Amino acid sequence: MTALGIGLIGTGFMGKTHALAFRSVRAVMGDVPEVRLECLCDTPADKAARFAAQFGFVRATADWREIVADPAIDIVSITTPNNLHAEMAIAALQAGKHVWCEKPMALTLADAERMEAAARAAGRITLVGYNYLHNPAILHAKRLVGAGRIGRVVHVRGWVDEDYQADPDLPWTWRARLADAGLGALGDLGCHLVSLVLALAGPIESLIADTQIVHADRPLADGSGRAAVENEDTATAILRFANGAQGSISASRSAWGRKNRLDVEVHGTKGMIAFAQERMNELQLYVNEGPKAEQGFRTILTGPEHAPYGRFVPAPGHQLGFLDLKTIEAAELLRAIAGGRVAHPGFAHALGIERVIHAIAQSGAEGGRRVTLG
């Protein structure tokens, strides 16, 4: 396969992670197609040019449509604010491009469904930025559950907490507006937790939920007044899984002291698994076997035995980081393109995550009415 041309839209933190992933993926993995960093888009034009030089792209543009129309570009990476995802992704797919889009897919469930339909019609490869799914610790946890190591799954619990919106005096931003951000804590944080829960326990049959806006309004940055917060700061849901298990999850962007608390526990009839993102290279396993006096949690420290850890480091204990997970994501996308297979999670799978977070929002808006997922 000839080298694949990359077009990147957005130069914020996630844009930088995509650029770094594309620059390092072949060096780390070896067995992926070569890429060419063709064009970077941002506004204004001088900003795009500055970051193109920094990230290593050949050229820059202030018009994302130029990237979509460029025949030298095979893959479009979308790392813009949420309200732009649907239009850009659908246009790229219709132009015959493969798409790597950051989460959540879109502002609304209807837009996410349009994106998935466009991907099916185009027959292109898509990938959504649920990087935590690619953690070797999570992949190993999924294998342990699938092998029956903890027995039949009966209960799941999860939390995702950050404090970036905890301060009531923090100025209002686009993240507080439905038309720009869509869902709040659910779209920004909760979707990551849902992605892990679905991976470890399977599809959700129904749920009941409650949501909350902690700070009703925030000061405008220019000091001219205050603006309303339109989306949720916290959300909690009680889940019923298709396999009969039950569970609960909660998300908060107003949890003082929490920086990236993403924890999940899977309880089975023979034991349990626990994972904490702030200790992302560790997995806790308890199995009810052997003498009672010797039973206890086992800490599994990821190493070369937990693929693809060994592609980065040849010894356990040296640890992977957040940016390494984005490199694994890039490898998943490139291998899927080279092999003509579906990437995971593509638009079809990610649409299932969108349906869950929007069902939580719907149940919360309707006073905790049980919502059944199709």
Mean pLDDT of the chain: 97
3-class DSSP assignment, residue 12: coil
Length of the chain counted residue by residue: 374
Q: How many CB atoms lie within 10 A of CB 33?
A: 15
Same domain, 126 and 147: no
Alpha carbon separation from 143 to 137, 200, 236, 336, 340 (Å, rounded): 10, 9, 28, 21, 25
On the question of a cis peptide bond just before residue 104, with omega within 30 degrees of 0, the verdict is yes
Chain segment 302-328, per-residue pLDDT in tens: 999 999 999 999 999 999 999 999 999
Same domain, 220 and 96: no
Same domain, 164 and 125: no
Question: Has residue 336 been placed in a domain?
Answer: no
Predicted pLDDT of residue 374: 76
Same domain, 244 and 221: yes
Question: Has residue 186 been placed in a domain?
Answer: yes
Same domain, 51 and 76: yes
Same domain, 48 and 149: no
Chain segment 159-190, per-residue pLDDT in tens: 999 999 999 999 999 999 999 899 999 999 99
Q: Can you give the residue range of the structural domain that contains 157? A: 132-320+344-372
Same domain, 224 and 311: yes
Instruction: Provide the CB-side half-sphere exposure for 282 (13 A, CA).
Output: 10
Predicted pLDDT of residue 324: 98
Residue 332 has pLDDT above 80, yes or no: yes
pLDDT class for 206, splitting at 50, 70, 90? very high
Same domain, 171 and 313: yes
Q: Mean of the pLDDT values across residues 44-53?
A: 98
Q: Could you tell me if 239 and 204 are in contact, meaning their C-beta atoms sit under 8 angstroms apart?
A: yes
Same domain, 122 and 258: no
Last residue of a domain, one of 99, 131, 163: 131
Last residue of a domain, one of 95, 110, 131: 131
Distance CA 352, CA 224 (A): 41
Chain segment 264-312, per-residue pLDDT in tens: 999 999 999 999 999 999 999 999 999 999 999 999 999 999 999 999 9
Same domain, 180 and 215: yes
Residue type at position 311? R
* Cβ-Cβ contacts under 8 Å for 150 (sequence gap 6 or more): 144, 266, 267, 268, 269, 270, 271, 272, 273, 285, 286, 287
Last residue of a domain, one of 80, 111, 131: 131
Q: What is the CATH number of the domain that holds 17?
A: 3.40.50.720
**CA torsion through residues 198, 201, 207, 212, sign:** negative
Predicted pLDDT of residue 1: 67
Same domain, 107 and 161: no
- For residue 30, the 8-state DSSP code is S
Residue 250 has pLDDT above 70, yes or no: yes
Q: Could you tell me if 372 and 205 are in contact, meaning their C-beta atoms sit under 8 angstroms apart?
A: yes
Q: What is the CATH number of the domain that holds 224?
A: 3.30.360.10
Q: What DSSP string runs through 224-246?
A: S-EEE--S-SEEEEEEEETTS-E
Q: How many CB atoms lie within 10 A of CB 193?
A: 27
The count of structural domains within the chain is 2
